[in-house]
Amino acid sequence: MKKRYVIAGVGVRSLCFAKSLLNDYKDCAEIVAFFDNNPLRMKGFNELLKTDIPCFANFAEMVKTTQPTHLIIGTPDYTHDEFVKLAFANGLDVICEKPMATTAEKVRRILELEKQFGRQIIVTFNYRYIPYVAKIKEIIQSGALGKVLSVNLDWHLDRAHGPEYFRRWHANMKKSGGLFVHKATHHFDLVNWFLDDEPLEVAAFGALNIFGANNAFRGERCSTCPHAGGECLFEMKLHKIPADKDIFDKLYWDAENADGYIRDRCLFSKDIDIYDTMNAIVKYKGGAQLSYSLTAYAPYEGYEIAITCENGRLEAAETHAGVFMHSHDDRNIIKIFTGTDRSNQVREDIAVDVDKSEHGGGDTRMYRRIFKADLPDPLRQSAGSHAGAMSCLIGIAANTSIMEKRVVLIDGLLKE
């Protein structure tokens, strides 16, 4: 029998899930409804997909009418716990976009709801499925380098991608948890997964150095801003790509009148309260330590990770966009360093084919795992509520550490 999916929150990310279900999994799944508080956006969503799927703003009516089995949650982060409750109370299992929740209270609520109703949550960590990243996990899991002792992870959002988080609802800490939660939950999950361990305590610093009230001028939005046309270095280039124009028109510009959501708000608005510069130190229960940084205004997009173990060190890096400032030679190559002293050091390079599909091939592989579940999972790429909790709790702890100027215990957040 086919699984029957409802998609709540019809934004760009949900569009990816919908296309995959409609194009690749017709044999085992179907979309029976869309749920959103904006009828114009749901109309545009259907137009983009060339479908006529029923749309609802009343959850009980939707369930009664369409009889779904699963809910895909693509709503703003701070609402995830409410939709988990609605799904579980109506007998639905949940596929939840990351982060699973934005506060410790919401994390605890979701974990309690899962136990109360005996339902299942899948958290969509597509980074685990990228072949390059999966190879790192495979090497660490093999034990060849021994126990992991230290991890350094530096993540860079470039000046095209980074500012996007400051134009949208993500720019409000209460709605997204800031980039430590909304974005870094991906990165923290990777480290948790590589280590097969849980975080113990977190200390962090954060600052808003570029965006928000830092600029000398500001407007309401890019499309009407008097500083557009060259004065603003971060001007949103509306409709630069034809495919984007159709998506933005139907999901945002044409839908504004229904809920007032502005997609191109000024990223120098004085009410922005998230950080664009972040650093954290995480200690794990098994003894490993993570040093993490994230900047939202880098000249190129990508990351560098170094994992130092008892018997060697692994270094890896990806450039996602922009001109890399150093050398392209070792991008998408995993470097392994071993040796006991300077006389017998060895470097081994492991090349991994680059997958140029969506999110480095992570999306297509994750969708198959979620919707088809027909392959073994030796690397344990599937993620449930526990992984979802451990990843976002690091970011939540980091925010708490900054506000309260102290080291924060993860277990303390779970017990409050």
pLDDT of residue 320: 76
Whole-number pLDDT of residue 415? 87
User: HSE of 209 in the Cβ direction (CA atoms, 13 Å)?
Assistant: 12
Please state which architecture CATH assigns to domain 3-126. Answer: 3-Layer(aba) Sandwich (3.40)
Backbone phi, then psi, for 209, in 5-degree steps? -100, -30
Nearest in space to 5 (alpha carbons), one of 95, 82, 97: 95
User: Can you give the residue ranges of every domain in the chain?
Assistant: 3-126, 127-211+272-415, 212-259
The pLDDT of residue 327: 41
Q: Do domains 3-126 and 127-211+272-415 have the same CATH topology?
A: no
CB atoms within 10 A of CB 38: 23
Q: What is the pLDDT of residue 337?
A: 96
- pLDDT computed for residue 137 by the predictor: 98
* 358 vs 365: CA distance, rounded Å: 10
CB 259 within 8 A of CB 303: no
Predicted pLDDT at 343: 87
Could you list the beta-strand ranges (E) of 148-288. Answer: 148-158, 199-207, 277-284
Question: In angstroms, rounded to a whole number, what is the distance separating the alpha carbons of residues 407 and 347?
Answer: 37
DSSP string, 249-279: HHHTGGGHHHH---TTB-TT-TT--S-SEEE
- Location of structure tokens 């350094």: 152
What pLDDT does 136 receive? 97
* Mean pLDDT for back-to-back runs of 10 residues, the chain (416 residues): 95 95 96 97 97 97 98 98 98 97 98 96 96 96 97 95 95 97 98 98 98 94 89 79 78 94 94 98 98 96 95 92 50 88 91 78 92 93 97 98 98 90
- Residues 409 and 58: their CA atoms lie apart, in Å, by 39
pLDDT of residue 325: 41
Q: How far is 331 from 252, CA to CA, in rounded Å?
A: 36
Residue 1: what pLDDT?
83
What does the alpha-carbon distance between residue 10 and residue 54 come to, in Å, rounded to a whole number?
13
Cis peptide preceding 99, ω within 30 of 0: yes
Cβ proximity of 167 and 307 under 8 Å: no
179 — phi, psi (to 5°)?
A: -70, -20
Identify whether the C-beta of residue 369 lies closer than 8 Å to the C-beta of residue 151.
no
- Give the pLDDT confidence score for residue 361 in this predicted structure: 80
State residue 382's pLDDT score: 96
Strand order of the sheet with strand 346-351?
A: 346-351, 333-338, 312-321, 301-309, 148-158, 289-298, 277-284, 199-207, 408-409
Joined together, the tokens standing for residue 324 give 């890399």
Structure-token match 């050091």, residue found: 345
Architecture, CATH, for domain 127-211+272-415: 2-Layer Sandwich (3.30)
Angle at the Cα of 168 (from 167 to 169), degrees rounded to 5?
Answer: 140
DSSP three-state, residue 298: strand
Give the span between the Cα atoms of 235 and 221, in whole angstroms.
Answer: 9
